[in-house]
Amino acid sequence: MILTVTLNTALDITYRVPALVPHASHRVDEVTERPGGKGVNVARVLAALGHESVVTGFAGGRTGAVLRELLAPLAPVDALIPIAGTTRRTIAVVDTATGDTTQLNEPGPHITATEWDTFLAAYEPLLREADAVALCGSLPPGVPVGAYADLIRRARAAGVPVLLDTSGEPLRRGLAARPDLVKPNADELARLTGTREPLRAAREARRRGAHTVVASLGAQGMLAVTPDGTWQATPPTPVQGNPTGAGDSAVASLLSSLVRSLPWPDRLTRAVALSTATVMAPAAGEYDAGAYGELLDRVRATPLHDTPAG
């Protein structure tokens, strides 16, 4: 079983409009709602890849109830903790003329100290059943800024490999707890390390505690800096579509490859292929299966001849 933690779950709402024009009224052609938040998307993709996945975190209020209703018929197991506050919404507006997406993210509900303690009490038993755990996304108000560092230490104590996908201060503190893998994007790495050169920034993130760093580079694909060497994989052609959830699909692919002990070039090509196929799908938490199969044959990981780091 792979456990995904989403402390700031969301109801993902996608609007498709013929053209997005500032200061204008729009007629929406299509609306989709999906259970969301990074770890929820990761768990859905893991299930599609054939893995047993469990979702934990928080859900509450009317929005949280809709999220859980939508999650119920899907493969991931719901282990979300009920809260008094209301789960946030994220709004993606897709301009069908250009393929561009505008994203609006609410901050999330306040988590009380009692609710946080309840989560920690549920986390430990779930860890005992997990082959890997992913800690994903932003922290809702009320959750300690060092929460991910605490959860990483608990996973390490249980002997469970842990992937961290967050940003800002939670990422900085999480690195000090020595996660097995972190997956920032280029901007998050730059803010963390002070350098916009991805390879240098990824090496610095490893120096600060991450065992392995996989950086999302947008159209340039992904970069992996590992103890065994460094590789980069790039999509064969530019794609347009909804990028919401593409990074989450990459995380799911990396977790799938981790529990299967695949070599790093294979892990990276699979992650790039799956994230690209997700951009081509209509909604977060889904990927274009046909495109994924085709991309697997076309994406290659190129070694950067980096000196292995111990």
- 137 within 8 A of 6, measured Cβ to Cβ: yes
Alpha-carbon distance of 36 to 105, in angstroms, equals 11
186 DSSP assignment: H
Alpha-carbon distance of 52 to 41, in angstroms, equals 14
- The answer to whether 131 is a known catalytic residue is no
The one catalytic residue in 12, 165, 248, 288 is 248
Alpha-carbon distance of 268 to 286, in angstroms, equals 19
- 44 within 8 A of 74, measured Cβ to Cβ: yes
How far does Cα 195 stand from its chain's mean position? 23
Where does 172-284 show beta strands of DSSP type E? 181-182, 212-216, 222-226, 229-233
- 150 within 8 A of 124, measured Cβ to Cβ: no
CA angle 161, 130, 80 (to 5 degrees): 115
Alpha-carbon distance of 64 to 78, in angstroms, equals 12
Alpha-carbon distance of 146 to 267, in angstroms, equals 29
Q: Which residues pair with 83 in a beta bridge?
A: 60
Tokens of 30: 């299509």
Q: Which residues are catalytic?
A: 248
